């Protein structure tokens, strides 16, 4: 059960189906000592993704230097960056037969560039191992380090993702240490890279108003964000922020239509949508959209 919700509606129930494919994927990841955000963030889609032979790799440890009240990833003092991790990520992607590789990380405010150089090392390793694969990164805000993005320029990703997560009014409660304008600036600067599509995500059900959500969507487009995901916030435990409301599927459909009218090249919206869920399909939608990279 979701804390604060007495009973899940049918459209929010996750049917866990173990499969030989999911077991094999989990074994590959465990054997290589590779972490995934699927496991660390208690993603409801993890079995589905593993069954498809996909996962979102999480680099730079499993402890975050921030303590956002919506996130299941534990906060604390992280370990030093592992120089062998990029090659393990590339090997895991190869063993899983991935054609689209998604990489994210915990927030590392303890590192000078917020971990950008480590992301760059992972990108280089994956491209050496899987030259034909597309690569997507979902990055933190790098602490606002103005030179962080330069580390990624020699081997830029195909998709640069950074989630704004919620509306500005809720940042102080939800995202201590983060800045809404900082996030918009990061997306705007990454969009200027050649052949790189930008992507962001929102959670609903934290107390935001519809007007605030529409304003954030409009401001993301003003920042030239190409792709958008919108999902339902589900508190990982009782110590996290309580859920304010459950948003029905039809409202997500309405917001998706608005987002496309605003000019987003690809949109995924629904109660169980997460920022990296079926990421390859979203990239394909963006690539085929006439509004992409305007």
Residue ranges covered by each domain of the chain? 10-287
Which band of pLDDT confidence, cut at 50, 70 and 90, is reported for residue 38?
Answer: low
Rounded to whole angstroms, how far apart are CA atoms 215 and 209?
Answer: 10
Rounded to whole angstroms, how far apart are CA atoms 215 and 245?
Answer: 20
| 161 and 199 Cβ atoms separated by less than 8 Å | yes
Rounded to whole angstroms, how far apart are CA atoms 112 and 117?
Answer: 10
Q: What's the mean per-residue pLDDT of the chain?
A: 87
Specify whether the backbone of 61 is left (phi greater than 0), alpha (psi in -120 to 50) or beta: left
Residue 75 makes CB contacts below 8 A (sequence gap 6+) with 63, 64, 65, 66, 67
Rounded to whole angstroms, how far apart are CA atoms 198 and 138?
Answer: 10
pLDDT given at position 14: 60
| 84 and 121 Cβ atoms separated by less than 8 Å | no
Rounded to whole angstroms, how far apart are CA atoms 106 and 66?
Answer: 9
Taking domain 10-287, whether its CATH number is 3.40.50.720 is answered by no
Structure tokens at 107: 């927030």
pLDDT given at position 10: 73
Rounded to whole angstroms, how far apart are CA atoms 123 and 104?
Answer: 11
Which region among 45-54, 184-193, 217-226, 281-290 has the lowest average model confidence (pLDDT)? 45-54
Residue 44 makes CB contacts below 8 A (sequence gap 6+) with 14, 234, 272, 274
Residues 65-85, mean pLDDT to the nearest whole number: 84
Which band of pLDDT confidence, cut at 50, 70 and 90, is reported for residue 258?
Answer: very high
Rg of the Cα trace of the chain? 18
Residues 154-181, mean pLDDT to the nearest whole number: 92
Q: Looking at the predicted structure, is the pLDDT value of residue 226 above 90? A: yes
| 42 and 236 Cβ atoms separated by less than 8 Å | yes
Beta bridge partners of 57: 36, 103
Measured N-to-C along each axis, helices 210-222 and 180-191 cross at an angle, to the nearest 10 degrees, of 40
User: 269 phi and psi, to 5 degrees?
Assistant: -140, 130
Which region among 75-89, 140-154, 280-294 has the lowest average model confidence (pLDDT)? 280-294
Quick one: which of 166, 180, 140 has its CA closest to 233? 166
Query: Which helix (H) or strand (E) segment is 156 a member of?
Result: none
């Amino acid at each position: 059960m979701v804390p604060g919700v007495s009973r899940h509606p049918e459209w929010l129930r996750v049917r866990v189906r173990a499969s030989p494919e999911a077991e094999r994927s989990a074994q590959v990841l465990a054997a290589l000592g590779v972490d995934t955000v699927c496991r660390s963030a208690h993603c409801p889609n993890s079995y589905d993704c593993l069954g498809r032979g996909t996962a979102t790799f999480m680099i730079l440890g499993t402890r975050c230097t921030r303590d956002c009240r919506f996130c299941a990833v534990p906060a604390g003092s992280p370990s030093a960056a592992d120089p062998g991790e990029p090659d393990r990520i590339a090997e895991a992607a190869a063993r899983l037969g991935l054609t689209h590789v998604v990489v994210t990380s915990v927030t590392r405010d303890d590192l000078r560039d917020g971990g950008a150089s480590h992301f760059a090392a992972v990108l280089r390793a994956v491209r050496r191992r899987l030259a034909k694969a597309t690569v997507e990164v979902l990055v933190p805000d790098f602490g606002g380090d103005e030179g962080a993005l330069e580390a990624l320029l020699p081997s830029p990703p195909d998709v640069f993702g950074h989630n704004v997560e919620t509306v500005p009014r809720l940042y102080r409660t939800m995202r201590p240490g983060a800045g809404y304008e900082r996030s918009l600036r990061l997306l705007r600067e990454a969009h200027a890279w050649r052949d790189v599509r930008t992507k962001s995500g929102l959670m609903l059900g934290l107390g935001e108003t519809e007007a605030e959500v529409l304003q954030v969507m409009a401001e993301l487009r003003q920042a030239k964000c190409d792709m958008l995901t919108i999902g339902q916030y589900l508190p990982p435990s009782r110590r996290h922020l309580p859920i304010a409301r459950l948003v029905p599927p039809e409202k997500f459909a309405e917001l998706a239509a608005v987002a496309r009218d605003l000019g987003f090249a690809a949109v995924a919206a629904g109660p169980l949508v997460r920022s990296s869920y079926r990421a390859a399909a979203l990239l394909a939608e963006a690539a085929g959209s006439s509004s992409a990279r305007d």
